[in-house]
Structure 1
Amino acid sequence: MKSIITDGRDERFISLCRKLDEYLNDIVGGNEMREKYDQYNTLEDIHDVVLLLRGETAIACGSFKEYLPGIVEIKRVFVRKEYRQAGCGRKLMEDLEALARKKGYCQLILETGKPLEGAMKLYKRQGFHIIDNYGQYADMPESICMQKSL
C-alpha cells in the first residue's frame, strides 16, 4: 500500500468520493436524506488529499480543508469495502494528521453521522473525542462532531 498526496482535482479522488456518496446513500436511505449535507461536501475548497494506492488502484481517500486559522476539517474519508479492516483507515488518518501538522495546523475537526459506527470507532482510536456540533452542523442532531489536538 502506497500513500500519495494530491488535491481535490485528482480524478482518483473524485471517483472515490462518488463511491463514498453511494455508500452514504445506502446507509441513510437515498440522496434525499443527505441533501442538506451536499453543500458542505463539495470539492472546490479541497486542496489537501491523501490517497492510498494498491498498485495503481486508489483504494482509500481522505482530505482536509482549513476551517479556521490553525484548524482543519477532515473531509471525504473513504475506504473501498474490500479493503476495510486492513488498516487502511488508520494509515489514512495518520497520513492526514502528519500532513496537517507539516502545514502548521494544531487541531483537526470532523463531522460524521450516527449510523457510521465504524468511522466513529476509527476516529476514537486515532485520538478524536466528541465535541459540540460546530458551525453548519450545530442544528443537525444526526451529526456527530469530533476534535483532536495535534
Structure 2
Amino acid sequence: MNIIKTNNTDSRFRKLCSMLDNYLNDAIGKEKQQQEYNQHNALVDIDDVILLIDGEKLISCGGIKKVDEDTAEVKRVFVADEFRHHGYGHKIITEIEHLAKAEGYKALILETGLPMKSAQKLYTSCGFSFIENYGPYAFLDSSVCMKKNIENNI
C-alpha cells in the first residue's frame, strides 16, 4: 500500500470523492445531500489530500481545509466499499493527523451526518470528541461535529 500526499486536482482523489458522493446520496438522500452539504464540500477548498492506494486500487482518501492558523477541518474521508473493516479508516485519519501536525495545526475539526454512525464510531475511536456544531453546520440538526487536539499527539 502506498500513502500519497497530493492535492485536490488529483484524478484519483476526485474519483474517490465521486464514490463518496454516491455513498452519501444513498445513505442520506440525494436531495438533502445537494441542498445542505454539497456547498461545504467543494474540492477546491481542500488544501491537502492523502490517498491510500494499492497498485491501481483506490483504497481511501481524506483531506484538510485550513480554518485558521491553529485549526484544520478534516474533509472528504472515504474508504472504498471493498476495503472497509480492514483498518484503512484509522490509517487515513492517522495520516491526516500527521499531515496537519507537520503543517503546524494544533487541532482538527470535522462534520459528519447524524445517520453516519459508523463514521462517528471511527472518529471517536481515533480520539475525536463531540463538540457543538460550528460554522456552516451550526443550525443543521442532521450534522454532528467533532474535534481533536493534535498539538501533543502522534
When normalised by structure 2's length, the TM-score is 0.94
Unaligned runs of 5+ in 1: none
Q: Structure 1 segments of 4 or more deviating over 3 A?
A: none
Match of 2:43 in 1: 43
Q: 1 CA distance for matches of 2:31 and 2:67?
A: 26
2:4·2:50 contact (CA, 8 Å) conserved in 1?
A: yes
Report whether the alignment pairs 1:109 with 2:109.
Answer: yes
Q: CA deviation at 1:70?
A: 0.8
Q: 1:118-129 maps to which residues of 2 (within 5 A)?
A: 118-129=118-129
Deviation at 1:21, TM superposition (A): 0.4
Q: Which residue of 2 aligns with 1:81?
A: 81
Q: 2:28 and 2:116 mapped to 1: Cα distance? A: 10
Taking the aligned partners of 2:18 and 2:122, their CA distance within structure 1 comes to 21
Q: Name the CA distance, whole Å, in 2 between partners of 1:147 and 1:119.
A: 14
Aligned to 2:98: 98
Higher alpha-carbon deviation: 103-112 or 55-64: 55-64
Q: Distance in 2 between matches of 1:114 and 1:97?
A: 23
Q: What is the correspondence of 1:1-150 to structure 2 with a 5 Å cutoff?
A: 1-29=1-29, 31-34=30-33, 35-150=35-150
CA contact (8 A) 2:47 2:66 kept: no
Partners of 2:10 and 2:88 lie apart in 1 by 19
Give 3-state SS (helix, strand or coil) of 2:75's partner. strand
The CA deviation string for residues 9-67 of structure 1, in whole angstroms up to 9 with x for no partner, is 000000100110000000112x2111221110001121200000011222110001101
Structural RMSD (CA): 0.8
Q: Could you tell me which amino acid in structure 2 is paired with residue 113 of structure 1?
A: G
TM-score (norm 1): 0.97
1:46 partner amino acid: I
Q: How many residues align?
A: 149
Is contact 2:112–2:143 with CA below 8 Å preserved after alignment? Answer: yes
Percentage of matched positions with identical amino acids? 48
| CA offset digits 1:73-128 (Å, max 9, x no partner) | 00000000110000100000000000000000000000001111111111001000
> Aligned partners of 2:54 and 2:85: how far apart in 1?
15
Q: What is the CA–CA distance in structure 2 between the aligned matches of 1:79 and 1:59, rounded to whole Å?
A: 6
